[in-house]
Structure 1
Amino acid sequence: MKQKPVILLNIDSLMSEPLEVATQTGHAPALQFLMEKGSYIPNMVSSFPTMSVTIDSSLLTGTYADKHHVPGLNWFDDSRKEIINYGTGFRETLRLGMRRSVHNMLYRLNNEHLSSDVTTIYEDLANMGIPSASINSFVYRGNTPKRLHVPRLLSTLTRFEDGEWTTNATSILSLGLFSKLRPRGFTLQIAAGNYKYTARELRHLIRRKQLPGFTFCIFQDLDARIHFRGPMDIKGIAKIDREIQKTLNMYPSWEEALNRNVWMVMGDNGHSPTGASYRKFVIDLRKTLKKYRIGRIDRPVHKKDQIVLCVNQRMAYIYILDKNLSLSEVSEQLKNDPRIDIIARKDGDFIHVTSGMREGSLHYCPTGEYTDEYRQTWSMEGNPELLDLHVKNNNELFYGDYPDALARVYSVLHSHSGRFIVVNAKPGCDFKAQSTPFHLGGAAHGSLHKQESLVPLVIAGTTEKPLFPRMVDMKELVLRLNCQRDNSRI
């Protein structure tokens, strides 16, 4: 029996509570149908930082950032002494250089930054002879060389000669104006379409009977709405649901859509509501660390610069360039701000965690006498309350406010080279550096907290589930479903 194609719809910033409200009040009948006919997991653990490119890299490679090496939307490449930004906000991107950011996002992310030591779902499926499709995702690395074209009006924004470049991608790739499935398709977005464009590209594949073994679609619009309107925005979910309805309506019945395909719908990150007072809720790291010389983003790093700041909304990297400046000294300075709930750094083979909110410290490293709920083992000493860890009988570890915290904090501190500290803001607060966007009275993400880390997953058309409710376990599920397809051919 031929295995069904797998369609994964990733709705950027979809969260369990507003999803449940939308379906229970009749605002999202398509999602309600999929939830009732399939499995619903409300607490899938995202990656860290909870930012799109890191999340997509974790989902597609089945690894955290220590393996796939995409540390966030904004980070510092110590080997090149340059800030890597994939587009965090107009003012910050403009100061860093629009051409450089676009080049990072469209090309270097997949061809240089995403580690060659890991493989994506697309690459593994291609090695099995199974094609795949990527629609609207900036992480698209596959085994098929693709010649992508830059529209003439946008050529000044890129570094590609003659407005074209070759990249290794999925066999079917849709990426806004750079690669379209429908010849006459048009989007106002430069590099990725809006929710209607994404759905139309997917429906094009269904209409042409060209669905591959795996199709990954991203609907991005909800994220922007939530940043300004707050986490409980139902209208955005309803708009995307109408596009899913149109897609299911292409089949004789919605039940038949499940008979022919496996449908998965999931969020990528949640949001934390942010306070309305700048003084109380915006953590300006330049002021917190004002005693040090901090590099500016609108010029190359100077030899005299001691620190570089890379903010990912509610999480930030603090890079220590001055070799005479210790990580512990800067950590102590950060502890003076009670709005910073986690301060983490490498300390030899261990991870050292302190806080501006709580007393004490925590030292830990992989492998040891403690076993967590994901069957990972750890050595640990100090105050477990810093990561809201709960130790039960027989040294069993359970997570509270920071899901899979030990693995996720470890991963970012081993995700790239350099001397740096990772900081996490308490709920309601946003980090800020030079020209960093912040979200007063709205919502933001990026942090380790469960508000941003737990997302919903709906699976319909199969009874299979991921081994654990984590983003990094999605790859194994997709490959398992497609291995069933591969075995059916034997």
Structure 2
Amino acid sequence: MNQNTQQTKPVILLNIDSLMPRPLEIAIQTGRAPALQYLMENGSYLSNMVSSFPTMSVTIDSTLLTGTYADKHHIPGLNWFDNSQQEVINYGTGFRETFRLGMRRSIHNMLYNLNNVHLSDEVTTIYEELAKSGTPSASINAFVYRGNTPKRLHTPKLLSTLTHFENGAWTTEATSIFSLGSFSKLRPRSIATQIAAGNYKYTARELQYLIRKNRLPGFTFCIFQDMDARIHFRGPMDLKGIAKIDREIQKTLNLYSSWEEALNQNIWMVMGDNGHAPMGSKYRSFIIDLRKILKKYRIARIQRHVHKKDQLVFCVNQRMAYVYILDKNLSQPAIVERLKSDNRIDIIAWKNEDNIHIESGMRSGSLNYSPDGAYMDMYEQTWSIDGELELLDLTVSDDKKLIYGDYPDALARLSSALHSHSGRFIVVNAKPGCEFKAQSTPFHLGGAAHGSLHKQESLVPLLIAGTTAKPKFRRFVDMKEFILQLASQQHKD
């Protein structure tokens, strides 16, 4: 397939949901992933890219596409509380929880409000930036897709009664080339094997269609979502999902006269979005039920609207959670003290204007910090810090350089979550092996989960082939600038 007629060398980013460094490396070493091995051996391999926080897909994709953390793009997680509307926003955390919240509301939030209402209009996506220079983009199987091309999307009959959209269709702002399962197809006669989006084969075939038709735009973003569900139940070292997706990548590279030619024609990137932490197997030991810890307070129930008498709302994102304090007369320190009584909660964080306060159920002491100060981290961010550095596993060198340990880019990522939306709330983070639970929350005993600030879920791999360039810093928040630079480089025949 000859792409030399295009002015730019197309950038193709394949996001394999829940791809992690160690399983990837083992799959390659054991011969299960020859396509990924080829890209690794003929390009660059970065094993420790820092994701956003919470480590949930919609927040991560929003950070990747906008080049900002949640304090700017305003997508706080897969589950959060909109203080202005007094309602829980859920983009689909699990059937029982979604059903109780209302399928109609959740589907509308995921398919429409996420991009058209909740994603801040004060930030721009890669797609919007490229469109300014006349460079088209493609989004395949991604729920965060905001561009500047009006698209009329159609709801499958099975879901049409569960949406707010007139006659089962609605107009959204998307990329010029847009694929999302049954809602928008590149191949007119294709059948999406999942209702809301295509599986890994569907994603690959949509990409292959663009290549065959010589329609690759300047930037294409594809998501392979299937592996996340496997790992939740089988654990983080499941390799079968990697092998399956690798076979589809092989088929894609085989569309060229050689794999070398595929790299000559395009820039290929493959990355994970979040890692997974292995979960313990005993409910009483490893599931942190927020309702029991804070049982003395009136907790809002998700199947009804928030009442005036409700004091707390819980929004769980697997291994992290937001605890919202609705009662103005309720003391925040009192809630913190109750949370500290559970030694499975490793970080308890809240804000007071620009200051962030940290305590823990596992360790004694407190830590306070704010932006701008005498300490600089590896990302050239400066901070003022006072208190027990151990609470965030921080160390400081003699020249006041901050070094992150178990919680990569912890100061910026925690601050972003605490400034991502309005309201009075506390962020809690579970220690490895543990997961939060509230009303109808799904959990993953004996499997794996993500969401937290810990490096288990925060560090993911990135393969880059077809260019020697690398992002300035190994963080998702720096990928937008990197991709825009690549997509604007002239391709010489």
TM-score range, shorter chain: over 0.9
Residue by residue over 1:39-58, the C-alpha shift from the partner in whole angstroms, topping out at 9 and shown as x without a partner, is 00000000000000000000
Question: Is the contact made by 2:50 and 2:460 (CA closer than 8 Å) also made in structure 1?
Answer: yes
Aligned to 1:73: 78
* 3-state SS of 1:485 partner: coil
* 3-state SS of 1:395 partner: coil
Distance 2:250 2:64 in 1: 25
- Give TM-score scaled by structure 2 length: 0.98
Distance 1:313 1:145 in 2: 34
Aligned to 1:262: 267
Aligned to 2:87: 82
Distance 1:48 1:481 in 2: 26
Distance 1:303 1:173 in 2: 43
Residue 153 of structure 2 corresponds to residue 139 of structure 1? no
The amino acid of 1:151's aligned partner reads P
* 3-state SS of 1:157 partner: coil
Aligned to 1:286: 291
Aligned to 2:352: 347
Q: Say what the alpha-carbon RMSD is for the aligned residues.
A: 1.1
**Percent identity of equivalent pairs:** 76
Aligned to 1:55: 60
Runs ≥4 residues deviating over 3 A:
none
Cα deviation for residue 327 of structure 1 reads: 1.6
Residue in structure 1 matching 2:401, options 396, 400, 421: 396
* 3-state SS of 2:233 partner: helix
The amino acid of 1:369's aligned partner reads A
Residue in structure 1 matching 2:490, options 476, 485, 489: 485
Aligned to 2:217: 212
Cα deviation for residue 157 of structure 1 reads: 1.7
Residue 388 of structure 2 corresponds to residue 372 of structure 1? no
The amino acid of 2:409's aligned partner reads D
* 3-state SS of 2:14 partner: strand
Distance 2:117 2:84 in 1: 13
The amino acid of 1:277's aligned partner reads K
Residue 195 of structure 2 corresponds to residue 194 of structure 1? no
Residue by residue over 1:293-330, the C-alpha shift from the partner in whole angstroms, topping out at 9 and shown as x without a partner, is 00000000000000000000000000000000122110
Residue in structure 2 matching 1:471, options 470, 476, 487: 476
The amino acid of 2:268's aligned partner reads W
The amino acid of 2:463's aligned partner reads V
Residue 19 of structure 2 corresponds to residue 14 of structure 1? yes
Distance 1:193 1:186 in 2: 9
Aligned to 1:301: 306
Runs of at least 5 residues in structure 1 that lack an aligned partner in the other structure: none
* 3-state SS of 1:287 partner: helix
Residue 324 of structure 2 corresponds to residue 319 of structure 1? yes
* 3-state SS of 1:142 partner: coil
Aligned to 2:69: 64
Distance 1:197 1:386 in 2: 44
The amino acid of 1:287's aligned partner reads K
Distance 1:414 1:289 in 2: 24
Cα deviation for residue 185 of structure 1 reads: 1.0
Distance 1:186 1:388 in 2: 49
Q: 1:428-447, aligned counterparts within 5 Å? A: 428-447=433-452
Residue in structure 2 matching 1:247, options 231, 249, 252: 252
Cα deviation for residue 248 of structure 1 reads: 0.3
Cα deviation for residue 189 of structure 1 reads: 1.3
Residue by residue over 1:270-305, the C-alpha shift from the partner in whole angstroms, topping out at 9 and shown as x without a partner, is 000000000000000000110110000000000000
Distance 1:358 1:211 in 2: 52
Distance 2:324 2:365 in 1: 23
Residue by residue over 1:221-273, the C-alpha shift from the partner in whole angstroms, topping out at 9 and shown as x without a partner, is 00000000000011110000000000000000000000000000000000000
- Give TM-score scaled by structure 1 length: 0.99
Residue in structure 2 matching 1:166, options 163, 167, 171: 171
Question: Is the contact made by 2:193 and 2:202 (CA closer than 8 Å) also made in structure 1?
Answer: no
Aligned to 2:237: 232
Cα deviation for residue 426 of structure 1 reads: 0.2
Distance 1:326 1:48 in 2: 26
Residue 152 of structure 2 corresponds to residue 113 of structure 1? no
The amino acid of 1:263's aligned partner reads W
Aligned to 2:29: 24
Residue in structure 2 matching 1:427, options 427, 432, 438: 432
Question: Is the contact made by 1:5 and 1:260 (CA closer than 8 Å) also made in structure 2?
Answer: yes
Aligned to 1:97: 102
Runs of at least 5 residues in structure 2 that lack an aligned partner in the other structure: none
Residue in structure 2 matching 1:361, options 355, 363, 366: 366
Residue by residue over 1:52-110, the C-alpha shift from the partner in whole angstroms, topping out at 9 and shown as x without a partner, is 00000000000000000000000000000000000000000000000110000000000
Residue by residue over 1:373-407, the C-alpha shift from the partner in whole angstroms, topping out at 9 and shown as x without a partner, is 10000001000110000101211001000000000
Cα deviation for residue 360 of structure 1 reads: 0.4
Residue 342 of structure 2 corresponds to residue 337 of structure 1? yes
Residue 10 of structure 2 corresponds to residue 44 of structure 1? no
Question: Is the contact made by 1:274 and 1:429 (CA closer than 8 Å) also made in structure 2?
Answer: yes
Question: Is the contact made by 1:327 and 1:345 (CA closer than 8 Å) also made in structure 2?
Answer: no
Distance 1:347 1:127 in 2: 39
Task: Say how many residue pairs are matched.
Answer: 488
